A and B are shown apart, each in its own frame.
Chain A
Amino acid sequence: MDFNQVYQVVFVKCEESSLSFFCNIPGFTIAEKIEIQGKECPILQSGNGDLIMLVEKATIEADTIVLKTDDCVRDYYLFNQKNIPGLTKPRYVAHGMELCFLDPSGNRFILTEERDYSEA
């Protein structure tokens, strides 16, 4: 594992159900499991290489996590086939395109495709 890579910590209510949820999302894979305070925490890698660490916690406050993608339209199509909850249609924003979905713990994930319009 490359420790120079930064991962985002995502607090979840139930690690097992979250893990099965993310493993069902196209492009997400388990990169590794690391031990923190005697507890194994899975690290997941998105299709674009972003890393998130799932940490189970009894009470959590739903968070917003931003991940990158290289193709929002494709991801929307693939996610839609998997009935990902809270999935929004891709929308055009100032820096490109983005879509959102929710994980079982209520965390909001924003998948963003950055587009450089300066040369376009």
Chain B
Amino acid sequence: MKYNRVLVDKNEVISESTYSAYYPKNTGKYALNVVLSGQANYTIEKREITLVPGSFIFLNHDTSYSNSIESKVEVNTFSVLFDPDFVADFEYSNLLQDHVLLDQPLRFKERERRFVESIHPLKGNIKFNLQHLAKHVENGVNDELLLSEYLNHCLANYYKLYHSEIIKREASLQFLNGTTKVEILKRLTVARDFMISNHNKRIRLEEVAQVACLSVNHLLRTFKQAYQQSPHQFLTGVRLQQAKHFLRNTDYPINEIVDIVGFECPSSFIRLFRNSFQITPGQYR
């Protein structure tokens, strides 16, 4: 087991490699949790989710959650815990106009932002900035100002991602009432997270709908509106991405990967993989 924790002012950066761990957490900080390899299970209030490689979740400071790792392969995780004041200050100084900032320099302490908590793919700039941050932490850099630059960038990247993944998708839902849009998108993210967490199992649409507290028809219609694809297409995409991860990072035989990621037969997996990425799994490897 390897555990490394660095303090950046009141924020924390934690990297860990382990086979087994349990953390009953309620840190009072916003938490950006990434799984780099293996799987980590989270209990977020009443929800059970599994973080898979190449994904992350951003949890609110007041969310009660625990996480556990129990694995035969080593699990690498990386977390950034943001102090609520840091997030509020970031938001306040980046989103408001200069004259407001000058008139009310401490107003940021009054508000606390709550995000819709959802699993996101680790891609784009947030991935690169987190990689740089992880490398510096690994190399023992403890220059708070430098690490703080990365935290600012990661937060900026997250806000941008949040805007495109949550705010814009909320807006794309065809409901008149704003509150309804927010509530529907929350339920859709629960459905999405359930599919990501259970992508390696046989999932029925009724099950997804039940978890999200939506009827099957309502789920199908609103999911398509928000994500421009059906739940089945989304699930296939998650499985293919996971297959890519295993092809790139392990020497497991393709048949085994097909089984691990939840496809039923190798031939349909190869066909789907080729159709999606214009390359066969063997060539990709």
| Count of chain B residues near A, Cβ 8 A | 13
Q: 9 tightest A-B contacts by CB?
A: A120-B123, A77-B146, A77-B149, A115-B128, A73-B149, A120-B127, A71-B132, A120-B124, A73-B153
27 interchain pairs, CB-CB under 8 A: A71-B132, A73-B129, A73-B132, A73-B149, A73-B150, A73-B153, A74-B132, A74-B136, A74-B146, A74-B149, A76-B149, A77-B145, A77-B146, A77-B149, A90-B153, A92-B125, A96-B128, A97-B125, A97-B128, A115-B125, A115-B128, A117-B123, A117-B124, A120-B123, A120-B124, A120-B127, A120-B128
Number of residue pairs A-B, CB distance < 8 angstroms: 27
Question: What 14 additional pairs, Cβ within 8 angstroms, besides A73-B132, A97-B125?
Answer: A73-B153, A74-B132, A74-B136, A74-B146, A76-B149, A77-B145, A77-B146, A92-B125, A96-B128, A97-B128, A115-B125, A117-B123, A120-B123, A120-B127
| Count of chain A residues near B, Cβ 8 A | 12
Q: How far is the CA of A120 from the CA of B241 in the complex (A)?
A: 11
SS class of chain A's interface: helix, strand, loop or mixed? mixed
SS class of chain B's interface: helix, strand, loop or mixed? helix
Residues of A within 8 A of B149 (CB): 73-74, 76-77
Shortest Cβ distance from B248 into chain A, in angstroms? Answer: 9
Shortest Cβ distance from A118 into chain B, in angstroms? Answer: 10
Shortest Cβ distance from B13 into chain A, in angstroms? Answer: 14
